[in-house]
Structure 1
Amino acid sequence: MAAVEIGKVSAWLVCLASSVAYFMSTGLIKSLGVLLPILRQQFDTQTWIIGLTISLVPGFGGVATFIIGAEAILAGELAKYFDQHYGLANCIARSGISLGIVVMPFLTQFLNDVYGWRGALLLLGALNFHSVISGILLKSTSHHVPDDKTAFPLSLETEKKTAHQQLSRTIAYYLDLELLLNPIALKRIVYNLGSAYAFVGWMIYLVPNAIDIGISPYRAASLSAIGGIGNLLGNATFPLLKKKLSNEHILYLTTLVVCLSLVGNPLLSLLHSYTGLVVASFTFGFARGPATLASYQIAKENIEEDKINGVCTWMLVAYSIGSVTSGFLSGWIYDETGSYTVSFLTLGLVALLSVVPQPFVNNAQNQKKSQYSQLSPEE
């Protein structure tokens, strides 16, 4: 009984750690987005260079994943610790994203006003350095540990296969390359790429867009905070939506709302409607919360348990690619056109395309086995 209680406590501590990690990582991106106009002016450079630099913050996550298993700290580890309450745990963990979007824009603007952009970056760096220390205290679950340890031969020499074939099999096994052939996993990966493009583009360029049309820095920062509040409320409504709709329908409907809010942003900016931008930001945040939760829920319910970490890894890689692409392309479009109109239209279009080509998949909760047999180095 004591062991069970300790296990439950550990699970919720992992959930809390995930929430803090989300707060730090998302808040940093939003902070740098607030500073983008100032950095562009200080360094007398193009928008896309600053935007690309900021997007490398989430972009490096994809690189680090294969080295240190970064996904284990986030959705992958949560899936290992939670079964019945996975949706609730993921909702609580991702509330860190909402709080990061709410708190950090105002804090960053305040620090910039008091200490300048250099002092602001110094303090933000010190704040985020706590993530390094806290990360040392976490120990992730092991990845791909088979019951029969002889399934991982150390020698590359086999009677039937060349050393090159054996090495290829080993790499494919450890990187879960077979997941790229799994339709359900591939849909989640594609969605994450489009979702990251829209979300990171919104985080980086929302405040610069508002400032560009004459809105004061603090009012511009408030647009981000309102989006964060919407995201927090959207996460809270996910359990209610689950009672009425399937995960797939939630994903499609909320992504459509995300698309409409992004597409409407240029018109509202043209009209200089602060109230309209407030509504658009709240709507974006509110809709994106359930969309993301539904996507991870689909992966949890349709991918076998020992492959969850692998799916989350590839989803994070796709997220990193979408983030870096958005940071560069959205800024480059602004440099070429002189406004964020086409940039936000592109954000909305990519968000919609991430789900439109995907047919609905069954909520195969009772079919945990993958359609493809697990590859091993010896097969």
Structure 2
Amino acid sequence: MSRKETGRSWMVLFASFMLMFMETGIVKSLGVLLPDIREQFSTQTWVVGFAISLTPGFGAIVSLFSGAVSKVVEPRVTIILCAFLSSVGLFAATCATTLGSIVTALVITGFCTGPTPVAAAAISTYFDDHYNIAITVFSCGMSVGMIVMPLLTQFLQNLYGWRGGILLLSGISFHSVVCGALIKPSKCEYSPVSKSSENETNKSNNKFQWWSSIFEKYLDASLFSNPSFLAILSIDAGTGFCTTGWLIYVVPHALELGFTPYKASIVATAGGIANLLGNSLYPFLATFLSNKALLYISICFIAVSYLLDPVASSYPSYIGLILCAIAFGVGTGLKSNTIYAMFNDAIDEEQLINAVGMGCAMYGLMSVISGFVCGWLYDRSGSYAISFLVLSVVAVVTIIPQCVVDIQHLRKSEFSLSAQPSLF
């Protein structure tokens, strides 16, 4: 076992798993409640979908600055604060009487995604030899959240209504505070920025230089000169659009086709089980396939799942919807692990929190756009078929920057080989 991997390491891994479980579970639960919230406030689908997408959207802003905050205070302080505010936001949603008030509550709930880059970076500082297994367990939190939370939310909704269901979800979410307390800083994590260095920076007479130094110091602006990072950032943005569209609208989509609420929730659960399968397969597949190969495979699964959904919906075929959900789940499961592994390979450990934070920020920004676009297309067409076709196109487009980077690396390697002197 590596020098880093101790009993504390596995405790940190468990806490990180639960944080990912809460993050995905909350967004998925809100998607299950979308029809009731829409009916309660007598509004359109795109309005509620956009409001729900603000949860990961605002979380994107939190994720972007979580790395900077973690350079000043302990990472677990960041996690505890975000988890507490997220639970408060869910509690406030139960008291909402207007559309504006529930939107505000869902924005506050977006703090649930803030701890993600901090937790992901914590795993990298605690694990060496078993990093692939650790990041798989971490990503499985998303899978378990997709499996458990839709059915649990549907059950709570039937018993207590959507307000009572969100109230109980608020209590469940509050356990993230305890998880944050378990993530004790390791010796490899960031040390707080010294006041002396801040004072030296403040002495600068040029305000532009001062702001540039702050941006570089706290947000690692040099990341934007790394083509591999920019390609991964593009993939995070595209998959954020695709994944959030599925999380929010897959249950309403099944309900619109005439299936019962429990059958609709089972479609989401099937996607969660497949996501768990994709996550579990990653350590095995990573032994003989590169992360880039696994990335291309995962994007193909995601794109095909959306492309075939209109075919399954035309009958409508419940088995077809289940198969599309399975393809989507396997693709997103592989993608989650692959993205974290690629960040870990391409980025220095000191910059990892900010790199993952920027990835989460792009993911969340595109989540907001997805919630609006998919709902708007449904309101205009009366069907989710066009929305899912758009999601398929986005999934394919998002991989183009990575293709460009790979082609450039291939050309450089070929040029270096041709430049070597021949032995004959």
- Scaled by the length of structure 2, the TM-score of the pair is 0.79
Structure 1 segments unaligned to the other structure (5+ residues): 365-379
Change (3 A) 1:350 1:244: same
1:156 corresponding residue in structure 2: 202
* Counterpart for residue 178 of structure 1: 222
Q: Which residue, out of 42, 46, 49, partners 2:40?
A: 42
The CA deviation string for residues 114-171 of structure 1, in whole angstroms up to 9 with x for no partner, is 111121111112211222343244345687548998655445224xx62431232222
**Runs of 4+, deviation exceeding 6 Å:** 146-149
Q: Higher mean Cα deviation, 122-131 or 100-109?
A: 122-131
Matched, 1:27 2:25: yes
> Are 1:72 and 1:140, in contact at CA under 8 Å, matched by a contact in 2?
no
Identity %: 38
The 2-side partners of 1:148 and 1:46 are apart by 51
Deviation at 1:71, TM superposition (A): 3.9
Aligned partners of 1:351, 1:4: CA distance in 2, in Å?
Answer: 40
1:103 aligns with 2:101: no
Shift of residue 207, structure 1, vs aligned partner: 0.5
Question: Which residue, 274, 297, 315 being the options, matches 1:253?
Answer: 297
1:294-338 Cα deviation digits (max 9, x unpaired): 121112112222121221111111111121111111111111111
* Alignment RMSD: 2.4
Between 105-114 and 201-210, report the one with greater CA deviation: 105-114
* Aligned residue identity for 1:122: L
Query: 1:205 aligned to 249, 259, 263, which one?
Result: 249
CA shift, 1:353, in A, is 1.2
SS at match of 1:74: helix
8 A contact 2:139–2:336 mirrored in 1: no
**Pairing of 1:1-379 with structure 2 (within 5 A):** 8-65=6-63, 66-67=65-66, 68-69=69-70, 70-140=115-185, 145=191, 152-158=198-204, 162-359=206-403, 361=406
Report the Cα offset of residue 243 of structure 1: 2.4
Can you list the C-alpha shifts for 1:278-303, whole angstroms capped at 9, x where unaligned? 11111110121112211211121122
C-alpha separation between the residues in 2 aligned to 1:138 and 1:45?
Answer: 42
Contact 1:223–1:281, Cα closer than 8 Å, also in 2: yes
The structure with the greater share of residues assigned to helix is 2
- Between 138-147 and 330-339, report the one with greater CA deviation: 138-147
Number of paired residues? 359
Answer whether contact 2:15 2:182 (CA < 8 A) is retained: no
| Amino acid across the alignment from 1:326 | S
Work out the CA distance in 2 between the residues paired with 1:122 and 1:146. Answer: 37
Structure 2 unmatched runs, 5+: 71-114, 410-424
Counterpart residue identity of residue 11, structure 1: S
Q: Distance in 1 between matches of 2:257 and 2:322?
A: 14
Change (3 A) 1:147 1:336: closer
Write the distance in 2 (CA, Å) between the matches of 1:44 and 1:89: 45
Q: Is the 8 A contact 1:143 1:309 kept in 2?
A: no
Residue matched to 1:376: none
Supply the AA of the counterpart residue of 2:203.
E
